[in-house]
Structure 1
Amino acid sequence: MTCPRCGREQPPGASGRFCVHCGRVLTGVRWIATTPDALRPRAEGPRRARYGGPPRYRDVPRWSLWPWAERPRPGGPDGPLAPREPGEPPEVLRGTAGFLRRLAVTTALLTGVAALGEVLRYVLLLLSRDRALSGVLLGWSDAVVGIFGWLSPLAALATAVVFLRWLLVARTIAAEVSGTRPWRSTRLLLLGCVLPPFTLTVPGATLAEIEHAASGLDPDDRPVPSRPVLAWWVAWAGGVLLGLATVVQGFATSTQALADGVVLHFWVDVVAVVTCWLTVRVVEHLTELLAPVLRASGRSYVVAG
């Protein structure tokens, strides 16, 4: 091999990454891992099976390889490791979080278009006070409000269902990590997330408890929500209150009440867009705490059989 700096050839038998003349790192060097008995003469006997590649894990270990190494061995200390069942909570949590992210983005887009439709309707209400409006323009306004007024609630409902699924899995993993047990049953949690006025507090409190447990803090201390959790909690509570006010206001039939209803629908859509964005943030934050993904370092190794 020739050194790229001094151009001198390496003496026969020289091995290493550096030039023996100038110390420059040699190009084309590969790290080769060999077994401890690679240099020993092999005894005659039955042929060993060919190397089948590195071991494969069903999920990424959280800290190096310790979860796999400490798994109980059915045959004793020298027995084979127990296989891991597919679909365990960390893998399910990451998959649910990815699906929830796509649903939340879709809901935000649909709700954003619905908010623009409410703005157009309000502008037409202002213009109709002293002039006649085009039937085509009114038709487009009604179509946008009608179509996206149905699509956005359906998408929001699907997002809420997947969010509850993610919340249950995250709560289970947080309890295992902290060695505690959730004091709310699954039934109480689901009812608290959908029934007012409990829906104002139960979802945000559950997220704060999950974050507290995932952070390794003392279970006896009171959970203090972080900024992502607190921001989501405020947006969620504001959306619930605005939604209730919009439903109550919808029973009025006066002209001014109809105009106020358009304004309320607009703000409900805006808060829904903000809540979807904050949902993506808080789900990514807590998923990374509970089931972190090890990122590649950019190095590669070659195994010589």
Structure 2
Amino acid sequence: MNAPRQRASVVQVCSRCGAKWRVPGGPAQWCPRCNGALLAPGAEGPRRTVRWVARRPDANVVKPAPAVARPAATPRYSYIPRWGFVDLPADSEPEPQSRLAVLGAKAVPLLAATAVMFILAALAEAGRYGILLRNRTRLIDPTLLAVSDATVWATGILAPVLAVAAAVACVGWLRAARQREFARVDRTDTRSTRILALGCLVPVVNLVFPGVFLEEFTRTALPRTRKLIRVWWCAWVFGAAVSVASVLWHFNGSYQGEADSVSFNAFADIVAACVALLTILVIRTIDGHDVLGRRRAPKRWTVATGPARPVIEPVRSAAEREDEREDERKDETAQQEVMAK
């Protein structure tokens, strides 16, 4: 009997490691070494590896290269620009102001005019007193006497009228100042305009309440401002007392009493002018201005951190300087001994 025929072996190449395997029988699929896929029998080629790569659908689309910008000249002005980065506030319609507020803005000019008129009234009274002194020995020209009388009467009428107008204007300023200060501390002014007007314009009552109204909204002001308000308050009461005394002095029927009333009227006019000027100072100080109306610059104080050293050294004798040098030598010797140890 014939022996059974053996199956012919085939050679297959691994697609991963490139090894050649003789596979008996039928073709195999996997490499015994790396478990890679075996190529078909008879296919002997270079080593191949397979890698799956995920790409976008438009990956093969050729995109145009970005254009390279050419360097341009630096922009510059051929002239000095007239503009700037200034944040201007939004245009807002001005709020309508009452007549009292408009008059309150003119408080300082009215007070200045009142002070000038009272000074003129004092000069007129001084002139009349000089005429009375001259009339003791000589006759006075009727024309000069008529001019003196007209001046005294004109200043005596205009000064009180301006004083009343200035008082009303001060009420308007007081109202605006109180509203501004209470709004700054997020509060509401409990005093109405009528109460302020009655407290500042009614006789006898206006000796107390103007100072109270000022003290109410200046509690957090500087000490010098509060002191100035108290000084003004005392001057205001003193001026009112002098004015009442000058009016009562006219009822003295004697010739000497009339002459004394002329000199006392001059003194009362000077006091009234000083009160008006002091009121201007109070208004300027509370508004943050100086006497001339310029904005007062705040002072910034710096705390000294080092010891105070005199700019000019005091004069010392030769013996004191020698003793100081000797002390320095001893200190250096002591430090060297410590360093040596």
TM-score scaled by structure 2?
A: 0.54
Query: How big is the shift at 1:251?
Result: 2.2
* From 139, 150, 156, the counterpart of 1:149: 156
1:188-203 matches, cutoff 5 A: 188-203=195-210
Query: How big is the shift at 1:127?
Result: 1.8
Tell me which amino acid in the other structure corresponds to 1:285.
T
TM-score scaled by structure 1?
A: 0.60
Return the alpha-carbon distance in structure 2 between the equivalents of residues 154 and 233 of structure 1.
Answer: 22
2:283 is aligned with 1:283: yes
Counterpart in the other structure of 1:163: 170
Q: Percent identity?
A: 30
Contact 1:118–1:266 under 8 Å retained in 2: yes
Query: How big is the shift at 1:168?
Result: 2.0
Contact 2:200–2:210 under 8 Å retained in 1: yes
2:273 is aligned with 1:265: no
Distance 1:257 1:188, change over 3 A: farther
Contact 2:122–2:265 under 8 Å retained in 1: yes
Q: Secondary structure at the match of 2:218?
A: helix
Counterpart in the other structure of 2:300: none
Tell me which amino acid in the other structure corresponds to 1:120.
G
Counterpart in the other structure of 2:309: none
Distance 1:138 1:88, change over 3 A: closer
Query: How big is the shift at 1:126?
Result: 1.6
Query: How big is the shift at 1:31?
Result: 8.7
Distance 1:104 1:294, change over 3 A: closer
Counterpart in the other structure of 1:255: 255
* From 205, 211, 228, the counterpart of 2:218: 211
Query: How big is the shift at 1:267?
Result: 1.6
2:159 is aligned with 1:127: no
Contact 1:112–1:270 under 8 Å retained in 2: yes
Counterpart in the other structure of 1:274: 274
Distance 1:255 1:100, change over 3 A: same
Query: How big is the shift at 1:205?
Result: 2.4
2:109 is aligned with 1:86: no
1:1-305 matches, cutoff 5 A: 13=74, 30=81, 55-57=88-90, 86-87=95-96, 96=103, 98-180=105-187, 186-212=193-219, 215=221, 226-288=226-288
Contact 1:212–1:224 under 8 Å retained in 2: no
Deviations along 1:27-85, whole A, 9 cap, x unmatched? Answer: 97659668xxxxxxxxxxxxxxxxxx964456xxxxxxxxxxxxxxxxxxxxxxxx676
Structural RMSD (CA): 3.6
Return the alpha-carbon distance in structure 1 between the equivalents of residues 224 and 210 of structure 2.
Answer: 14
Distance 1:212 1:96, change over 3 A: farther
Q: Secondary structure at the match of 1:212?
A: coil
Tell me which amino acid in the other structure corresponds to 2:165.
A
Query: How big is the shift at 1:137?
Result: 1.7
Query: How big is the shift at 1:88?
Result: 7.2
Query: How big is the shift at 1:98?
Result: 3.9
Query: How big is the shift at 1:130?
Result: 2.5
Distance 1:31 1:144, change over 3 A: closer
Distance 1:105 1:32, change over 3 A: closer
Query: How big is the shift at 1:212?
Result: 2.0
Distance 1:88 1:187, change over 3 A: closer
- Which structure's CA Rg is the greater one? 2
Counterpart in the other structure of 1:44: none
Query: How big is the shift at 1:247?
Result: 2.0
Segments of 5+ residues of structure 2 without an aligned counterpart are 1-72, 297-341
Tell me which amino acid in the other structure corresponds to 1:132.
L
Return the alpha-carbon distance in structure 1 between the equivalents of residues 168 and 151 of structure 2.
Answer: 26
Corresponding residue pairs, total: 220
Segments of 5+ residues of structure 1 without an aligned counterpart are 1-11, 17-26, 35-52, 59-82, 218-222, 296-305
Return the alpha-carbon distance in structure 2 between the equivalents of residues 210 and 191 of structure 1.
Answer: 18
Query: How big is the shift at 1:116?
Result: 0.4
* Higher RCO, Cα 8 Å, sep 6+: 1
Tell me which amino acid in the other structure corresponds to 1:166.
W
